[in-house]
Amino acid sequence: MDKQQTQDQINALKKVLNQYNYEYHVLDQPSVPDAEYDQRMQELLKLEEEHPDLVTADSPSQRVGGPPLDAFQKVQHNIPMLSLGNAFNETDLRDFARRASQGIDGEISFVCELKIDGLAISLTYENGEFIRGATRGDGVTGEDITSNLKTIHSIPLTIEETETIEVRGEAFMPEKSFHALNKAKAANEEEPFANPRNAAAGSLRQLDPKIAAKRNLDMFSYGVGEWNAAEITSHSERLNKLKALGFKVNPEWRKCATIDEVIEFVDYWTNERPNLNYEIDGIVVKVDSLDQQDELGFTARSPRWAIAYKFPAEEAITKLTNIELSIGRTGVVTPTAVLDAVKIAGSTVQRASLHNEDLIREQDIRIGDTVVIKKAGDIIPKVVRVVENKRTGDEKEFFMPKNCPACGSELVRLEEEVALRCINPNCTAQLKEGLIHFVSRNAMNIDGIGEKVIIQLFQEELIHTMADLYRLDREELLKLDRMGEKSVANLLQAIEQSKQNSLEKLIFGLGIRFIGAKAAKTVAVHFETMEKLQQATYEALVEIDEIGEKMADSMVKYFSEQKVIDLLKELSELGVNMTYTGPKQSEGETDSIFTGKTVVLTGKMESFTRNEAKALIESLGGSVTGSVSKNTDILVAGEDAGSKYDKATELGITIWDEQQLKDMTED
C-alpha cells in the first residue's frame, strides 16, 4: 500500500469512527455494536503506529490521552467567563424578569436550561479544528486542559465552521461513571470522591491525560464566547446551531414566553432532578433575544440578562460534638461546629460555620446538641437550629475565650462589630492565613504553593512574612517531605515569575481590610506605583470612584504602619514589581476619540493581535466588546470581517479598517 492509499484508508476510518462516536456519545443512539467500533479503532491505531507522520489532532485515537504534562499553561479569555447572579425563590425570579423588562423595549421571552453541577469550560475552534480547551479559572484567566478535554467523546475534534468560535459548556461526570470510579477507589483503599462535581474537576486537573481518559467524563454545551454568526438572533437558535455542529446540548431546555412558564419549569425540575443520571444544582434562566441581551449588558460580575435559580438547600440532622476556633488573616476569631459525619447535597459534611458568639447565644447552641444543618446554595454548611427535644442534660454551654488561642493575646471586640478579634500583628495564625491569601490565585497567583505547603513552610520556620517567600533556599526546601528536585524547581520558578505581577495583584495580596480584587485594580490604575499609593491621603482616595470612606480609611491606616513600610521596602529590594503594568489610561484621554466609546473588533489584522488592539483601545478610554449591537460606536474590521461587518452596516455603525485604527491611535 503506497502513502496515498494509507492516507485514504486512515481518513475513511477516522470518518466512520467519528460518526460512530457522535451517534453513541451525543445522540445516545449507537448504530453498531461496541465490538465493531473497537475493531475499526484497532485498525486505525495500527496504521497510525506504522505511519506516525499521518497522525492528526482530529484523529479519534487522540482521545486515549497523550503524554503527561509538567504543568498547565495559563489561558486568557478574550471575553470573560462571568458567573451568574443567584435567585433562591419565586420572588427573586419575578424581580429578575421585572428588571429585564424595564431595561429594554418590546416583549421578552426566556430560555430555561438545567444548571449542570460540573466544571465550566471553554473550547476554541479555528478553521473547524479544536485547538484549545480551558477552565473558567477566575473568569479572566483559566488553565489550558486541552489534552484532558480531548478524552471527552462528546466534544467534537472537528466541526463544519470556518469562523473562529469559542464554545462554552459544562464538563461533568455522569452518575454511572462516578459510582464506578468510587468503587475502584474503595477497592484500592483510596479516599473516595465526595460528589460527581469534585470527581470531574479532579479528573480534568490531572497532569496525565490517560487518567482523565479513564474517568468517562461528559459535556453539555450551553453557549459561546466569540463567534461571528449574524444569522443567529436568539439564544434558542444558538443552541440549535451548536447541536447541528455536533456539540452535545442538554435536551431538557425550554423556551418560555412568560415568567410564569419559567416558574412552572423550575417547579417541575425541582421535583424531577433525582431522576436524571447526572447532577444539577439549579436552573439557568436567560433572555432569549441576543439583541435584548446586548441592551441589558453586564454588571462588573455578571450579565443582567441571565440568572441562576438555586434549588432549595437540603437539610440533615446530626450531632454537634465540639466547637473549634480559627483565626483569620484579619484576626477575626470564628467558631466552627465539629459534627458527626452526615451526607447532604451530595457530599459528606463534618464541619459547619457558627459565624460568631452572638449567633451561638441566639440559637442556644451547646456542645453535644442534636442540630439541623443545611448547605446555603448547596455549598456552605451551616447550623440552622437545635433539636431541643433531643437534649439529655449532658450538653455543655460554650463560651468564647478571652485570649487568642494561637498567640495568647487578649481578644477585643471593635466598635460596631459582633466578632472578636486578635489585634496582635505578630499573631502566628494571622501571619499564616495572610500568607495563604498572598499566594492565592487572585493575589500573587504562585503555582505550587497552597495551604498545605504554607503550613509546612511555617512549621519548619522557613517563612514568617511575605518577603520570606522570596528568600526560600533550594537546599532547605529539598530537606522537606514531598519536596523533590522537580517540585522545588517548579516552586522557585513560580515564585520568581510572581515578581513580575502587575501592582494590583500585590495590593490585593497584602490583605488590606475592605480591599478586594476590584478595589485593588482601581487604586493601582489610578496611582500606578506603590510609592504614590503609600503617600495617598484619605481625601485623595475617597475622590476615586468605587473607593468608599471605609476603604480609604483602611488603606491610610495600613500604609502608615511601620511594619508595612518595612515589608514593602523588603519586597521591592527582593525584586517584586511595584508598578501597574496593565492597560493605562492616557493623560489626554478626554481628547481621545475612544473615550466612553464601545468598540468591536472583527477579522484578521496584520499590525495587531486581537489582545494588543483591545489593550490599546482600553488604554485610550474605550471599551471592547465581542458582539455588535445598537450600543456599538465603532467596528474595526480587518480582513474576512464576516457577519459583524454586515450587522454594523445594517445598524449604521461607524466602520474603520486597520489603517484608520493605526492612524487614530498614533494621533
Nearest-angstrom CA–CA distance, 445 and 142: 12
Residue 563's nearest CA partner among 464, 442, 420 is 464
- Give the distance between the most distant pair of CA atoms in the chain: 88
Query: 34-50 vs 3-25: helix axis angle to the nearest 10?
Result: 150
Nearest-angstrom CA–CA distance, 601 and 637: 6
- Dihedrals φ, ψ of 33, to 5°? -65, 160
Query: Could you tell me whether strands 598-602 and 623-625 are parallel, antiparallel, or unpaired per DSSP bridges?
Result: parallel
Grid coordinates representing 135 are 477552565
**Helix, strand, coil shares of the chain as percentages rounded to 5?**
40, 20, 40
Nearest-angstrom CA–CA distance, 594 and 309: 38
CA 458 to chain centre: 29
Grid coordinates representing 365 are 447552641
Q: What burial class does residue 3 get, using C-beta atoms within 10 Å of its C-beta: 0-12 exposed, 13-18 middle, 19+ buried?
A: exposed
> What is the b/e burial string over 303-317, where b = at least 16 CB atoms within 10 angstroms of the residue's CB?
bbbbbbbbbebeebe
**Catalytic pick from 115, 150, 310, 375?**
115
Question: Any catalytic annotation for residue 115?
Answer: yes
C-beta atoms surrounding 165 within 10 Å: 20
Nearest-angstrom CA–CA distance, 323 and 397: 10
Residue 191 is classified by DSSP as P
Nearest-angstrom CA–CA distance, 41 and 47: 10
Residue 240's nearest CA partner among 219, 265, 223 is 223
Q: Which are the contacts of 594, defined by CB distance < 8 A and separation ≥ 6?
A: 617, 620, 621, 622, 634, 664
Query: Could you tell me whether strands 280-287 and 254-256 are parallel, antiparallel, or unpaired per DSSP bridges?
Result: unpaired
Q: Which are the contacts of 550, defined by CB distance < 8 A and separation ≥ 6?
A: 514
Q: What is the dihedral of CA 216, 222, 227, 229, to 10 degrees?
A: 130
Please identify every residue annotated as catalytic: 115
